[in-house]
A and B are shown apart, each in its own frame.
Chain A
Amino acid sequence: MPRSLTVALVFSLATLAGCAGTGKNSWFAPMESRSPMYTAVSPSAAASQEILNAAAVCCDALSELRFAPLDTTTTRFYEINAASQAFAFSTGKSLLQAFSIPDDLERATLTIDAVAGATVFVPTVLILDRDFNVTRAIESRSFKYTPAGFMEPQRLRGRVFLDRRQGSELAGEKYLVIFTTDKDMRGSTRMISEARLYARARGLADPGLPDPVARHAATGVFRMDVGELETAAPAVSRAYVQQQRGATRYVTPAPAVTTATPKAPAPVAPPSPAATRKATAKPTAPTKGPQPMLPETQRMYDGMIEESVSVGDMDRAWRLVQEAERAGSTSARTTFVTAVKNK
């Protein structure tokens, strides 16, 4: 029996080698791209691109998107596929997922994991207020590659902080749009192979194998988990400021804006992001900024902001920024950013 078994084994190996020789390499593929868990991950970026090309743009404005209520009770997988809505962002046409945030969700951390296999959908997240104005953008580069392990697939991981408490500047945030950009779709992510992870755990020589590469694609799958807001206030505040800066660049202004722009009075001071949003949202209305602030009051706010930052009371500092801006301060935000940087 052992002899015959050897023959059988040798034969089966030889058969495999034979298959190898036929050059039908496309029949084989990396496991990650084929297994049931990753069926939503496209095996090829090109096929994914075709799906995008075939998709019709659903609407002219973000307000016309269908927003699904965000499921805050459980961690869920969401697919970006041929059935997804498509929208022409200023960064290119993209398939997307749109969510509305339930009103009772005040403070939360949304953890978004884009599953990576042969391809990966690289997310950019826009947050909109109740009037569908973009308040913040979480750029794709804040989604970091995280290797597989302990029931977790290879993935790009990013987080979105929400603070919608009464009085918070972000209280008006209502909608999430998760999409990708033309620029991101041209890239790829180098991953760490599972064999390499095994080698690290077991103290083996590096396997010397090429790392798998996930091509960035127009379709894919991501997982979203709704958790507690972490209380690292400085980091969160810094993130907010950074995310608000230029957040509107992802959406092409409606044609009305272009015609309206010449009529708008040249701004005396750099407009605050809040003012910019207003201008984008209601371009036909005259840009009615708040009355200019008394220089003394402005200095007073700046001083208090600096002091709050210096003692580490970020929450108070940020509230001061908001209050000062409501009162017409043009320097509060810069003061805050500078103070945080110098800290």
Chain B
Amino acid sequence: MKLRVLTTALAASLASGAVLAADAAKNYIPDFHGYLRSGIGATGGGGDQSCFQSNGADTKYRLGNECETYMEIVLGKSLWEQNAQSFYVDTRIAYKSAAQNDWSEDPGDGSGSNSDAISGDRAMTAHPYRDSVVSVREANAQFRGVISGQEKSNLWAGKRFYQRHDIHMADFYYWDLSGPGVGLEYWTLGPGDLSLAWVRNTDGPWVNGYGTEFYNDEIVRPNVINNVLSTRYANLTTNKDGSLELGIEYGTADLTNDQDSVKARVLASGEIERMEPFEYNNGWLFTAEHTQGNWFGGFNKFIAQYATGSMAATGNNNTHSSSNAGADFYGLDSEGDPTILPALDYMWRVIDHGTIAIGSRVEMMYAVWYESKKRNSATLNSGLAATGSGGEKNWFSIGIRPQYNWTDTMNTALEVGYDDVSFSNNYAGYGLSAADLAELPVGLDPNVLRSCATRDDHCVLTKVTLAQQWQAGPSIWARPVIRLFVTYADWNQGNFPQTPGIISAQDTSGVTFGAQVEAWW
């Protein structure tokens, strides 16, 4: 009898063990999300697909206008759950390649990202078999429901895409504070949800124009870290299906003691050069976004932003505090001492975008915005004088992408995008001198090659794409989609928008065609 009991017990434990193992295996299958786009394209007149983006425009309308392969693999898992609280671990690996060959290697030094650069010489010199980069973009843990009774509340730390806001059709991330950080988000307080975060980004040794020389000579760290402190207040109900989000972000450089105190360096010649290469540059970003749901079968978002100093300095994403952005310059402070000023004085922009449904078969994305950036001006004391010109850049952009559904899974999409960027008072700051012009190749009209940006002119680009799409459902958001496209672009003389070297510099229009797949899940 004893033996039998033992046998039964053994059998039971074995059986339950097997069940546990099976359950465990099931429990550890992670959530799999991701994104990819890839394809093949060509330019009328020969060569690889050219992509079209205006000088001075930070984004381009993307349908039939993306030349690279880009992919994100997202693996996440809720590892612990109890009483409406859970611990979620999330990761995201990104991969980008110009996809010039089957073998697309990551050379490991970042040069792989050159090949898809839309402008500049880098694109032409990139190795066709080493045209990829891999990047760890997210690695974070989130304690959801951290505030008892508030399931949305979330304490997080690690690398994260932090509450990014985008215009999909233009790949425009107008409010994007991503990077390593820590924060508490969606803490319901009063009529809205409060989010607080500290996010980091770092400028490279190029910021003060001296590269790594300070490290070599004085063992002063050349990289400047920038902190952004973010406060956002979201989900304020304003009207039926409408809500408001407000944000204030402050970015500032955080110098090391040595960076703060270095006043001089010893030159190779033995001379001592006096200077103050690092500054606590800073800036503010103010954002208000109104979201309207139930908007003709879609939604509408209206955004107003104002940024100063370093928060206006880089790109358009405000991802960096960039207190010492690349185009910063030397000037004199109020007491007449040399100092580094942030490149930009201010930036403001107004955006409206969304989607609507028209009748039973048409759905459309639309976007329109105006952005104005102004450079700092100052009394200048170096050869970088031009960047302190106080010049302005004004960018107007408008685009639509309607889609007509022939069936659930096949549709025709049209995307029309228009960018007009006007430069004034030598904003671009790299005007060609008479000597530069004299060195241009014989037989070319210098004015043809002279950039619209340096001429203080308008840079205008119009892009039209017609695409036949096979899509996983009728919604304009349904993916995956496989599309065959033809793109026509038209630009003014001197606005070299296309991937360099494919379309002749004198041309002011181009046609591309190809196939692209886009998926997210």
A residues with a Cβ closer than 8 A to B are: 1-2, 5-6, 9-10, 12-13, 16, 19-20, 25, 27-32, 34-38, 148-151, 153, 194-195, 197-198, 200-205, 207-210, 307, 310-313
Contact = CB atoms under 8 A, between A and B. Distances in A.
A195 B245 CA distance: 18
B359 A27 contact: yes
Contacts of B104: none
B520 interface: yes
B166 A208 contact: no
B420 interface: yes
A241 B163 CA distance: 47
A69 B467 CA distance: 43
Contacts of A203: 74, 92, 137-138, 160-161, 164, 178
B118 interface: no
A311 B12 contact: yes
Interface in B392-423: 396, 398-400, 405, 407-409, 416, 418, 420
A282 to B, nearest CB: 42
5 contacts: A31-B357, A148-B475, A200-B33, A310-B8, A311-B12
A278 B492 CA distance: 86
A195 B12 contact: no
A208 B33 contact: no
Contacts of A311: 8, 11-12, 15
Q: How large is the interface on B (under 10, 10 to 19, 20 to 34, 35 or more residues)?
A: 35 or more
Contact of B520 (A13, A201, A209): A201
Contacts of B98: none
A338 B153 CA distance: 40
B360 A29 contact: yes
Contacts of B408: 35-37
B490 A35 contact: no
Interface stretch (B291-299, B326-334, B340-348, B439-447): B291-299
B293 to A, nearest CB: 4
B296 A195 contact: no
Contacts of A150: 472, 480, 521
Interface string B34-50: 11000000000000000
Interface of B: 8, 11-12, 15-16, 18-19, 33-35, 72, 74, 92, 137-138, 160-161, 163-166, 168, 175, 178, 234-235, 241, 243, 245, 291, 293-294, 296-297, 299, 355-361, 363, 366, 368, 396, 398-400, 405, 407-409, 416, 418, 420, 460, 462, 472-480, 490, 492, 520-521
A96 B136 CA distance: 53
Contact of B368 (A13, A27, A38): A13
Contacts of B366: 13
Nearest to B296: A28
A312 B153 CA distance: 41
B235 A149 contact: no
Q: Is the interface of B mostly helix, strand, loop or mixed?
A: strand
A312 B474 contact: no
A6 B15 contact: no
Contacts of A32: 474-475
Nearest to A197: B477
Give the 8 A-B CB pairs with smallest separation, nearest first. Answer: A203-B161, A312-B15, A34-B360, A37-B408, A35-B474, A194-B477, A201-B520, A205-B163
A208 B235 contact: yes
A29 B235 CA distance: 25
B255 to A, nearest CB: 31
Given A35-B408, A198-B168, A201-B520, A153 B473 contact: yes
B475 A31 contact: yes
B520 A34 contact: no
B419 to A, nearest CB: 9
Given A37-B408, A195-B355, A310-B12, 16 more contacts: A6-B398, A9-B399, A28-B296, A30-B357, A36-B408, A38-B474, A148-B475, A149-B521, A194-B477, A197-B520, A198-B479, A202-B166, A202-B520, A203-B74, A203-B137, A208-B234
Contacts of B460: 2
Contacts of B360: 29, 34-35
A29 B462 contact: no
Given A2-B460, A34-B361, A13 B474 contact: no
A312 B34 contact: no
A276 B278 CA distance: 87
A205 B164 contact: yes
A12 B414 CA distance: 14
B74 A201 contact: yes
B138 A209 contact: no
A198 B479 CA distance: 9
A92 to B, nearest CB: 31
A1 to B, nearest CB: 7
Contacts of B137: 203
A9 to B, nearest CB: 5
B473 A204 contact: no
Most buried by B among A19, A35, A197, A200: A35
Contact of A5 (B16, B355, B462): B462
Nearest to B368: A13
A195 B460 CA distance: 31
B174 to A, nearest CB: 11
A34 B460 CA distance: 38
A307 B8 CA distance: 8
Nearest to B173: A204
Contact of B297 (A19, A29, A194): A29
A108 B140 CA distance: 42
B478 A194 contact: yes
Contacts of A1: 462, 490
Given A31-B363, A34-B359, A37-B408, A6 B473 contact: no
B248 to A, nearest CB: 16
A200 to B, nearest CB: 6
B297 A31 contact: yes
A220 B416 CA distance: 37
A148 B477 CA distance: 11
B240 to A, nearest CB: 9
Contact of B294 (A153, A194, A205, A210): A210
Contacts of A149: 472, 521
Contacts of A198: 168, 477, 479, 520
Nearest to A203: B161
Contact of A12 (B35, B241, B243, B400): B400
Contacts of A20: 296
A6 B1 CA distance: 92
Nearest to A312: B15
A193 to B, nearest CB: 8
A313 B476 CA distance: 50
A35 B291 contact: no
A281 B64 CA distance: 66
A63 to B, nearest CB: 38
